[in-house]
C-alpha cells in the first residue's frame, strides 16, 4: 500500500507521480475527500472523548461538594453513545480510505521512464540468454505433482480451494528454504 502520510502531506507531487502510472485524477480526488472525512471524524471523536474526560473529573468534585450527580451521570451516559457512534464513523471512514488506497499502485521512482505498458519498458541489461529446450517444459506445479511433492486434492479436503499439501522432498525443500532465510536474516542482524 502507498504511504498515506506522504500522499496527504505532498498531495500535488504524489498525485503527479501516480498519474504517470495511470491512476485517474478522479480516484485521487476521491482519496483526498476520504482523507478529509477521516480527519473530521477523528477530530469529532477526540473532542467527544475530551468532553467525556472533563465530565468524569466533575464526578469527584460533585461528590466532595455533596451535589446531585444524577444529571451529570445522564450527560455522561448520553455522551458515551455519541462517542460510540463517532468511533464507528471514524472506523468506517478509515476502512473506506484503505479500500481505495489498496487499489492504488506504489509511487514510481523518479528515474523510471514513463510508459503505458510493458512495451514502453527500457531494458537496462540482459544477463545470459533464456534456455532453449528441445521439448515443451512443464510448469513447476506439474513437475511437483508428477514427482509426488505436492498434493492438491488433499489440500482441498483439508482447507478448501487453492491450498495444497507438500510431501516428501517438496516439504523438505520448503523447510530448507525457510531455515536458509531465517539463518541469513539472523546473521545479517548481527552484522548491522
Whichever domain contains 19, its CATH number is 1.10.287.40
The C-alpha cell at 46 is 477526540
Same domain membership, residue 182 and residue 96: no
- Residue 186 forms part of a structural domain: yes
**Helix (H) or strand (E) run with residue 98 in it:** helix 70-102
pLDDT at 62 over 80: no
pLDDT at 177 over 90: yes
Q: What is the pLDDT of residues 103-114, one digit of tens each?
A: 888 888 888 777
Same domain membership, residue 94 and residue 154: no
Residues 6+ apart with CB under 8 A from 115: 121
- Residue 92 forms part of a structural domain: yes
- Residue 89 forms part of a structural domain: yes
pLDDT at 43 over 90: yes
pLDDT at residue 178 in the model: 95
Q: What is the pLDDT of residues 120-139, one digit of tens each?
A: 888 888 899 989 999 999 99
Query: In angstroms, how far is the first alpha carbon of the chain from the final one?
Result: 27
pLDDT at 192 over 90: no
Same domain membership, residue 97 and residue 12: yes
0.75 surpassed by pTM: no
Average pLDDT (92-105) is 89
Same domain membership, residue 87 and residue 177: no
Q: Which of 58, 83, 102 is the last residue of a domain?
A: 102
Nearest residue to 16 via CA among 121, 119, 117, 114: 114
Same domain membership, residue 8 and residue 56: yes
The total of structural domains in the chain comes to 2
Dihedral Cα 36, 38, 43, 49, nearest 10 deg? 170
pLDDT band at 190 (very low <50, low <70, confident <90, very high): low
- Residue 111 forms part of a structural domain: no
**H helix and E strand count, the chain:** 7, 2
Task: Name the pairing type of β-strands 165-166 and 150-151.
Answer: antiparallel
Instruction: Look at 63 and 26; give whichever has higher pLDDT.
Output: 26
- Residue 127 forms part of a structural domain: no
Least confident window among 50-64, 71-85, 125-139: 50-64
pLDDT at residue 61 in the model: 80
Q: Which of 102, 130, 155 is the last residue of a domain?
A: 102
- Residue 68 forms part of a structural domain: yes
Residues 6+ apart with CB under 8 A from 63: 69
- Residue 72 forms part of a structural domain: yes
- Residue 107 forms part of a structural domain: no
pLDDT band at 191 (very low <50, low <70, confident <90, very high): low
Domain that holds residue 27: 4-102
Same domain membership, residue 12 and residue 83: yes
Amino acid at each position: 500500500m502507498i504511504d498515506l502520510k506522504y500522499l496527504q502531506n505532498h498531495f500535488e507531487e504524489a498525485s503527479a507521480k501516480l498519474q504517470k502510472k495511470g491512476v485517474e485524477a478522479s480516484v485521487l480526488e476521491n482519496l483526498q475527500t476520504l482523507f478529509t472525512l477521516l480527519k473530521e471524524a477523528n477530530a469529532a471523536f477526540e473532542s467527544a472523548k475530551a468532553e467525556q474526560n472533563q465530565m468524569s473529573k466533575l464526578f469527584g468534585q460533585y461528590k466532595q461538594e455533596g451535589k446531585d450527580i444524577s444529571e451529570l451521570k445522564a450527560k455522561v451516559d448520553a455522551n458515551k453513545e455519541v462517542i460510540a457512534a463517532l468511533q464507528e464513523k471514524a472506523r468506517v471512514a478509515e476502512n473506506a480510505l484503505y479500500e481505495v488506497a489498496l487499489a492504488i499502485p506504489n509511487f514510481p521512482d523518479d528515474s523510471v521512464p514513463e510508459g503505458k505498458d510493458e512495451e514502453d519498458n527500457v531494458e537496462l541489461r540482459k544477463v545470459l540468454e533464456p534456455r532453449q529446450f528441445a521439448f515443451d517444459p512443464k510448469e513447476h506445479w506439474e513437475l511437483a505433482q508428477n514427482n509426488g511433492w505436492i498434493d492438491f486434492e488433499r489440500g482441498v479436503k483439508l482447507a478448501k480451494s487453492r491450498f495444497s499439501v507438500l510431501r516428501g522432498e517438496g516439504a523438505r525443500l520448503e523447510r530448507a528454504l525457510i531455515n536458509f532465510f531465517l539463518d541469513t536474516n539472523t546473521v545479517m542482524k548481527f552484522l548491522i
